[in-house]
Chain A
Amino acid sequence: AQSVTQLGSHVSVSEGALVLLRCNYSSSVPPYLFWYVQYPNQGLQLLLKYTSAATLVKGINGFEAEFKKSETSFHLTKPSAHMSDAAEYFCAVSDQDTNAGKSTFGDGTTLTVKP
């Protein structure tokens, strides 16, 4: 069984500040992990993914995430927030090989960026 917990349904940062969005997962087998972003009235867009290669993954728009097996975490960071980063962010997990195609999403974190 797989599950995802995103800590904090709302995160607010000032423009230029560090962005940290937290994600913890549970999986019985090595997972694939993903972060998606959703802008208002749009579908989801893949930000980055972990597929058991490098543990530090870089994505689009300056975001990156680090896979920490010992902490079962995959937190999303960006050194300096921009107003255009305001959106909802989702962490997702799918199990490698077993139940290929099945994926589980977290409840989402809404990021607000203050000027």
Chain B
Amino acid sequence: EAQVTQNPRYLITVTGKKLTVTCSQNMNHEYMSWYRQDPGLGLRQIYYSMNVEVTDKGDVPEGYKVSRKEKRNFPLILESPSPNQTSLYFCASSHRDRDGYTFGSGTRLTVV
């Protein structure tokens, strides 16, 4: 089944403790992207990648890192999480930017 898989689905962590949210797609898509969703703010793009080793900042990149060493994987790294990073995070992938994204099921992160 074609899908974008994120792990974990739920995560509670403490301020300052480094964490990684994994994202993997099995569709051989070139584009991958991370978003955060907050009530009333829609989805905001954090980082995106056009291909292996090619990444760029979205609208809210502060406090996040990404890497794209393999085509299928696009992990999101929070080096020192803070409570304002408590949010619902989505990974998505696309073959071309005109195709629209296929989304994962989301990761609900709580930073206390």
Contact = CB atoms under 8 A, between A and B. Distances in A.
Contacts of B101: 44, 46, 103
Contacts of A90: 42-43
Nearest to A44: B103
Which has the most chain A C-beta neighbours within 10 Å: B42, B48, B90, B99?
B42
A101 B33 contact: yes
Of the candidates B49, B50, B100, B101, the one having the most CB atoms from chain A within 10 angstroms of its own CB is B100
Of the four ranges (under 10, 10 to 19, 20 to 34, 35 or more), the interface on chain A belongs to 20 to 34
Mostly, the B contact residues are: strand
A43 B105 contact: yes
Specify which of A34, A43, A51 lies most central, judged by the most chain B CB atoms within 10 Å of its CB: A43
B4 to A, nearest CB: 8
Contacts, number: 68
B45 interface: yes
B70 to A, nearest CB: 17
Given A101-B49, A102-B48, A102-B56, A49 B99 contact: yes
A93 to B, nearest CB: 11
Interface string B22-59: 00000000010101000011111100111000001011
Interface of A: 6, 9, 32, 34, 36, 42-46, 49, 51, 90, 92, 94, 96, 99-108
Given A103-B33, A105-B35, A105-B45, 19 more contacts: A6-B42, A32-B98, A34-B100, A36-B100, A43-B90, A43-B103, A44-B90, A45-B103, A46-B101, A46-B102, A49-B98, A94-B97, A96-B98, A100-B50, A101-B56, A103-B101, A104-B45, A104-B59, A107-B42
Interface of B: 4, 31, 33, 35, 40-45, 48-50, 56, 58-59, 90, 92, 97-106
